[in-house]
Structure 1
């Protein structure tokens, strides 16, 4: 019986993957106007369909306690009229962006007269596995289709009803706006074995993008037969240099930590140069504690202002909630070494008025985004002008940082001759 059930699940997954592959062939030749019309119609339809989406979201919220979700995780799950309007806005912004498909990256005419072009083309089929954030369902679908890719969506079970309601609307508008069936599909089974089946279907799926916990990402990277764009955890740092504007540093730290605590570009670790630690730490501690944040500091930080003693694990943790690790460092190099040891290569920031220190930091810190005198929260596709992103890659190949439209393309060479043969 179990074997028959497994066979049925594998067949179900194969059907989804083949349908996506067929859709990707049509999407590769779909004109920009058609894709944009679908995006704009979908934005309007999502707003008009708010009651059904909110009803579905209510079911997810009611079930949240049974999954043991933290307050930050529940916040990421919740939809309201404002957040649905935000999803619609993101789709409209993607529609307004240039279509990367068909872009000539470079070209040349060879001495023999052959004309060569390097042309941007879609990746094909994206298998996207992501955490329980309903807005990501719409963002990922929009960015994949606009870049000419079909997408298979596997969201967290905690947002299953919300994601289903959103995808149904996207599929309805696709059917009436020339977007092929199979362009956007949601995996409708919570069975974890489904992921394993999809990861072996490299004949139909071109890339896997996992976005969630470290365990999930390591599993996907280990099992996938196709390339993987990884979105690892975000242990993001703010380093306050000896020459920092301390008021600016307090504001940046507060924003980086408290603007939204349950996201990957939130600050989890604060490093402070010893020269300003006695002046800065009481200021930032008062501000963060007023926002309900627990500070966990090393011995030197605890000696300056009251906070919880930090463990070794705290300095490498992605808390995704109201906790931040704090360490006092001797100098810029020690801050860089600390980030290299404990960081996740996601987003790290320096606050300083010293241009030389800023340049040293940006050159030495090996992260997808390195920020000077601004919050880590700016490492975001929308803030970078990419529109909504499908994730923030901590890889170096094939894409790094926010993955927007261009990051979901590859290229091919197109060569024009006039009866040329090679001698």
Structure 2
């Protein structure tokens, strides 16, 4: 049975900061941000958007009535959860009006969460071929103003429908996964910002890639020449390139140029959004599929997922005939074009707007937020979500 990605959607907030201007404000050369880490714009979530609303808005654009009826499993990968008990998936299930006879759960392992969700979805479809699974990867990356990680912040979500006989990409059966208990990036329950050992995390990202790639080659017999492209989890767009460069000497110059060229295409969306943790790998895949018009059906795409702490996985997908007909390229183009740039001072003010943590209620103004699904406030310790289409 063929199982894979039948639909894929994306959402990012309507606000962004220009990285050149942020660099000037922080007293560093703009090239440090635009070339050194490879970021042009950073998406900024207003207080009316959180991981739930971002995911719901991403899913809203791709679901039809058949999907709403057949989806019987919602798996939400995030490290920006809004409740320590109730899953973000349950909120999204209600906001989208999905089949009530469904499982809805949240999974967590840093940036690896959405990949874990996909593997869970594959198992479910194998047992229940007529089912569909909604997989969500949604996060808001926050490190704080004037911190070393500030330039790698971002916000957004990717939604995917996993099913049999997928119309976009079949996920192949062979994969290699690796786990090691390390402290390269983590966020204790008492902190709203992450802790990171940047140099160590970069080293582990590359080491994990080298290990899973080596094991994958031994397991399958496939080589770099067998791949049209490799997409990476992108905490910033230069990170994946650092890993790719460590294995390029395994192949010919022609294959090297193909992989490097497709890598650059796969980073374009991420360059303009920033880090979205669990969704970053799949935003990179979406960028490749929608912006590279030369990809042919049958092309094999490698996928490297990494979640600090740490879990890494290498797996693959093969493009289906007419896959391009099932992408939302124009909608995503309009999403990017419709965003509004904010000044650095406006960004700093918005960043510091936070929800109360003392149990008090608050009502938020959602009239300035163009998103269909928004957070309207907190009442009696309960988040108040609004779907403007209802």
Tell me: higher relative CO, structure 1 or 2? Use CA pairs within 8 A at least 6 residues apart.
2
Q: Is the TM value for this pair above 0.5?
A: no
Q: TM-score range by the shorter chain?
A: under 0.3
* Structure ranking higher in strand proportion: 2
* Structure ranking higher in helix proportion: 1
TM-score relative to the length of structure 1: 0.25
